[in-house]
Structure 1
Amino acid sequence: MSTFTNASTSTSTGSATDGRNGRNGTMSATTTEATRRLRLRGMNWLVWRQHRAAFWTILAATVLSVAWIVFQRNQMMDSLTGYGWPAKSLDEVGPEFEPYRRAFTFVSSGLGFLPVLLGVFLGAPLLAGDLENGTAKLVAAQSASRARWLATKLGVTTLVVVVSTVALSVAFGWWWNPVKDQNTVMEWTSGSAFDVTGPVPVALTLFTVVGGVAIGVVLRRTLMAMVVTFGFAVAVQLVWDYLRLSLGDVVTITTNKGVTAENSFPELPHAAYQIDESYLTGSGDLLGWSTCVNSPTDQARELCLKKADVVGWSVDYLPMSQMNGMQWLGASILFALTAGVVAFLFFWGRKRLV
């Protein structure tokens, strides 16, 4: 009887132990499998390891920059609340707000230079270095195709660029949003505001980086590709500055109360960007605002304006409400250009990448 009991106990204990071991083994296998899935493998691992210094530098700089922006935003809001804002305007706050104006200028200038920086130091050497030192031939000799190698290079790099620029754009927009309608802080049509918020910084940076990659593939020399990419990035910035305002629909407002009275000039919406102003004649023609400016007296000027049949003002402007639409339109154009450059890279890479 006792033998049977001991045997039963032993069997029960062994079964329980086996059950626990089975469950633990299953959990360990599941954990190991999940861990393996989280790790980079194959071509992704190779690309990340090859450029990990640049990638980690970009991500670390992004984290530090976002943290600093968050700190500055909290400091600014505490200061403005203490001065009675928004009941008081920023003009009434006075010189106490000046450090934050300088901070906006400093940060926006740095973010505005980001596409050039990443294009030169990340985009240009990305493939040019492999083509110059022979790494591309080594990769081509392996089982992976050149198209897969190119796609992985562009994919990992694009992911890092998008994550960084989106984080910086969101953080800066969040910082600027409470005072964005104050032209004394930053004018919304300027590059310091328009190009570092919304989708624009992502699109500009991606286009510049992918353009740098294409230049590196064609030139096949790292230093030369970096120099040419710098010129390309600067040219992109200049063209973008020239075309930025054309992304909006110009609104025209006219008056017929003369041009010399105190309140004759039309009142524009708050934070609107004035593009041009002209005198409006009775026949609907426009005259430059300098018409009759050389008249010796006010009476002579009024007589000159009457002779020219000037009846009021005609003012062209862009309302701030168009900012978001203008940004997405411009970003869409840049994304389309980036896609075109990527298509060129794959076309070129079919025969000439190695």
Structure 2
Amino acid sequence: MTWLHWRQFRGQALAGALALILATGYLVYVGVDVRDGYEAYRSRCGDGGGGDCARARSQFRSAHENTLLFLAAGLALVPAVLGAFWGAPMVARELENGTHRLVWNQSVTRTRWLLTKVAFVGAAAVLLTGALATLLTWAAAPFDEVVQNRFGALEFGARHLVPFGHAALAVTFGTLVGLLLRRTLPAMAVTLVGFVAFQFFFPNVVRPALMAPETTTLRVTAETINGARSLGGIGGGPVIGGLRLPDAPDAWIAETSPLRTADGEALDGARFNDCLDDPPRTGAGGTFGDTAVCLAGHELHIDVRYHPGSRYGTFQLLETAIYLVLGAALTALGLGRIRRRVS
């Protein structure tokens, strides 16, 4: 049985092995390049680095951020592609061509036939995706240490354990879709679109609800504002984006309130826009310069809901466990379907 599965799967397996070899070479190159940049950053920001640290950090980030985000996005697509090209055709092609009847008329039970297929292809997908994730985690380690954005949607899903769970779930999802649709091309399309949609849904809806966030109130100084990434929302309003907590720079900021005055009321939009568009000229430096000084003069604060960086490992374990449980549930549904309804 295992030999039969290998003969059916060897083409995909060899293609996956070749892709892994090529990706390994590129990821090693990226990892070495990131470490060279990290050493340059440390030489400027080590002992005696002084005020040059902020600029060195910004240059190090801008030099590698786009490449690592592109790689993270690419890794996010790998499980979806494997689910579509490995998982979906695995059963759909057999049912479409009628070759399943030959196997079922032998001594092999339907349950064993399906479980062996899922285990064989699923293990290959997990190994391939896990190897890529491990390499990317290694390559990006110095960057993650400096930038401290491990909870970013793309970054979190492309590091450590979560990609393993993605791969296992994608293959079982594709298998079930192929079993239900019984047509290879439609099953591949539904698997690809459905799993990509799931990868957007889970981090934005489910992940924030896995643990209750902690809360704190942060006094807004010019330094706080200059440490943020944006001021103002899409529809305007006194909000601040990309904030970091001074005492927990690696925390995941789940939610921030609008800028509030000392009495707890939201800062008036007109006053916010005055500081944004035409602040008093002070010659201040930093990302937002005079705007930061102007806003800080209003004695503002914001309420922050956040997850400490120490929860990163817990979130990784919880999310991976959920994917594995969902994959097991989809496999159980497939077994129930194949026993009762597929002829």
TM-score, L = length of structure 1: 0.73
What is the Cα deviation at residue 46 of structure 1? Answer: 0.3
Which residue does 1:69 correspond to in 2?
Answer: 27
Give the AA of the match of 1:78: D
Which residue does 1:116 correspond to in 2?
Answer: 80
Question: Where in structure 2 are the equivalents of 1:168-183 lying within 5 Å?
Answer: 168-183=132-147
Alignment root-mean-square deviation, CA: 3.2
1:206-237 C-alpha deviation (Å, 9 max, x unpaired): 21221111010011111111122123112211
Give the AA of the match of 1:216: G
Q: Is the 8 A contact 2:76 2:158 kept in 1?
A: yes
User: Following the alignment from structure 2 to structure 1, what is the Cα–Cα distance between the partners of residues 58 and 300?
Assistant: 39
What is the Cα deviation at residue 335 of structure 1? Answer: 1.2
- Is it true that 1:246 corresponds to 2:225 in the alignment? no
Which residue does 1:141 correspond to in 2?
Answer: 105
Which residue does 1:346 correspond to in 2?
Answer: 335
Question: Where in structure 2 are the equivalents of 1:266-345 lying within 5 Å?
Answer: 267-274=246-253, 275-278=255-258, 287-289=265-267, 293=271, 312-345=301-334
Number of residue equivalences: 297
Question: Where in structure 2 are the equivalents of 1:209-228 lying within 5 Å?
Answer: 209-228=171-190
1:34-59 C-alpha deviation (Å, 9 max, x unpaired): xxxxxxxxx00101111111122123
Q: Is the 8 A contact 2:173 2:330 kept in 1?
A: yes
User: Following the alignment from structure 1 to structure 2, what is the Cα–Cα distance between the partners of residues 353 and 313?
Assistant: 58
Q: Is the 8 A contact 1:182 1:271 kept in 2?
A: no
Change in 2 beyond 3 A, CA 1:334/1:281:
same
Which residue does 2:291 correspond to in 1?
Answer: none
| Other structure's SS at 1:181 match | helix
Change in 2 beyond 3 A, CA 1:191/1:165:
same
1:139-162 C-alpha deviation (Å, 9 max, x unpaired): 112221121111110111111011
Give unpaired runs (5+ residues) of structure 2.
226-244, 280-298
User: Following the alignment from structure 2 to structure 1, what is the Cα–Cα distance between the partners of residues 333 and 91?
Assistant: 14
Which residue does 1:229 correspond to in 2?
Answer: 191
Decide which of 1, 4, 7 is 1:49's aligned counterpart. Answer: 7
Which structure has the larger Rg over C-alpha atoms? Answer: 1
What is the Cα deviation at residue 289 of structure 1? Answer: 4.8
User: Following the alignment from structure 1 to structure 2, what is the Cα–Cα distance between the partners of residues 127 and 161?
Assistant: 16
What is the Cα deviation at residue 66 of structure 1? Answer: 2.4
Greater Cα shift, 205-214 or 98-107: 98-107
